[in-house]
Homo-oligomer: A and B are copies of this chain.
Amino acid sequence: MPSEFALIRRHFTRPARHTDLAVGDDAALVRPRAGMQLAISTDMLVAGTHFFADTDPEDLGWKTLAVNVSDIAAMGAEPRWVVLAASLPNADEAWIEAFARGFFACCEAFGIDAIGGDTTRGPLNLCPTIFGEVPTGTAITRSGARPDDDLWVSGAPGRAALGLADLRGEIRLAKACRDDCLAALQRPQPRVALGLALRGLASAMLDVSDGLFGDLSHILELSRVGAEIDEAALPLAALTDACGDAARAFTACSAGGDDYELLFTAPADRRGGIEAISQSLELPLHRIGHITAQTEQLSLRTRDGQLRLARASGYDHFGRSA
């Protein structure tokens, strides 16, 4: 069996393009560019909690990095470097090779140098830490939403949840939509270009990883505001077509995680700029509601015009938030 060092060298050493010292020493060395803040995020993916142990390793390699790239996108930052720590139950070279292929495909897609890491034996656990750069003072945080700001979401959140339900045999998606929903689950596309374009336009932003309504509550909490979502404005039609069930489509959109779409707020006078971005990126951006002054209160304006308090329902790994 090849040693840990040999396996890592074989599959995880690729030329770095903007790194002073990459894999192989006690630490990697990088130089952020002048005038830049460094945006740093880490996400741990555990077999059985975040993915099935038998997930296709190439998809898993992509997704392991993509979900971290999404955090950088959500700051309006440009992803630059990543380190990967991994615990593996065994040194299965075919698995490692496929995982590395997916991981580096994501590196290539977003111009990221993989600069180091750590590999050890143990239950399957993948832990990237990612670094982006953003001109000092221009990062889009969760705390900048103001009453009367518009509330926007990119793409079609809920597709990944429908894909997962199909894989679990709970539903059977229409053939024309199934591939699209599975791709959203297995090969999520972090919205880096959108995040960069929204600098100077968005007042607050995050990526939807645990469910739209639940994640929105983080913006409400940190910005000390409330929100009203307009059910009629949610992008539900395609989801309903896919699964043939309007209630499931609503749940997938409002509480399904794993799509990694961007949820953001912006003053109403920025609508033109945001619509122009949507066109130039060929990415639908949906204005789904607005920010209110009712701190941390999330309301839903239903199709029949009634306003009801929506429960925050993000997935919390250790229980439900109050």
A interface, CB within 8 angstroms of B: 1-7, 20-21, 24-32, 34, 37-44, 46-50, 71-72, 74-75, 77, 81, 83-87, 91, 115-123, 125, 127, 129, 131-132, 134, 136, 139, 141-143, 205-207, 222, 316-322
Copies of this subunit: 2
| Chain B residues, Cβ within 8 Å of A6 | 321
Q: How far is the CB of A155 from chain B (nearest CB, A)?
A: 17
In the assembled complex, the Cα of A244 lies from the Cα of B117 at a distance in Å of 39
Chain B nearest CB from A180 CB (Å) reads 26
A142 & B25 in contact (Cβ 8 Å cutoff): yes
Contact among B30, B87, B119 for A125, CB-based, below 8 A: B87
Given known contacts A24-B222, A122-B125, A321-B3, A38 and B46 CB-to-CB distance under 8 angstroms: no
Given A26-B142, A29-B139, A77-B27, A117:B42 Cβ within 8 A = yes
- Whether the pair A121, B46 counts as a contact (CB closer than 8 A) is yes
16 contacts across the A-B interface (CB closer than 8 A): A2-B319, A3-B320, A7-B318, A25-B141, A25-B142, A26-B41, A26-B142, A26-B205, A26-B206, A30-B37, A31-B38, A42-B84, A46-B122, A48-B122, A122-B125, A125-B125
Q: Are A25 and B222 in contact (CB under 8 A)?
A: yes
Q: Nearest Cβ distance between residue A115 and chain B, in whole angstroms?
A: 7
Main secondary structure of the interface of A (DSSP, over half): mixed
Q: Could you tell me if B121 and A317 are in contact, using CB atoms closer than 8 angstroms?
A: yes
How many whole Å from A89's CB to the nearest CB in chain B?
Answer: 10
Q: Which of B7, B38, B119, B122 contacts A29 (CB 8 A)?
A: B38
Q: If A120-B317, A142-B24, A142-B25 touch, does A81 touch B40 (CB 8 Å cutoff)?
A: yes
Complex Cα gap A3–B132 (Å) = 29
CB pair A44–B127 under 8 Å, yes or no, is: yes
- In the complex formed, the residue of B with least CB distance to A321 is B3
By a CB distance below 8 angstroms, the chain B residues around A132 are 27
Q: How far is the CA of A40 from the CA of B136 in the complex (A)?
A: 21
Residues of B within 8 A of A317 (CB): 4, 119-121
Q: Is the CB of A49 within 8 A of B120?
A: yes
A44 touches B318 (CB 8 A): no
* Least CB separation from A125: chain B residue: B125
Knowing A3-B318, A3-B319, A129-B83, say if A42 contacts B141 (CB, 8 Å): no
How near does chain B come to A212, taking the closest CB pair, in angstroms? 15
- Point out the residues of chain B lying under 8 angstroms from A81, CB to CB: 40
Shortest CB–CB separation between residue A241 and chain B, in angstroms?
31
Q: Would A42 and B118 count as touching, CB distance under 8 A? A: yes
Residue of B nearest to A117 (CB): B42
Asked whether, in the complex, the Cβ of A26 is within 8 Å of the Cβ of B75, the reply is yes
Chain B residues in 8 Å Cβ range of A46? 87, 120-123, 125
A28/B24 in contact, CB under 8 A: no
**In the complex, chain B residues whose CB is within 8 Å of the CB of A118:** 42-44
Contact A50–B318 (Cβ < 8 Å): no
Q: Which residues on the B side are within 8 Å of A206 (C-beta)? A: 25-26
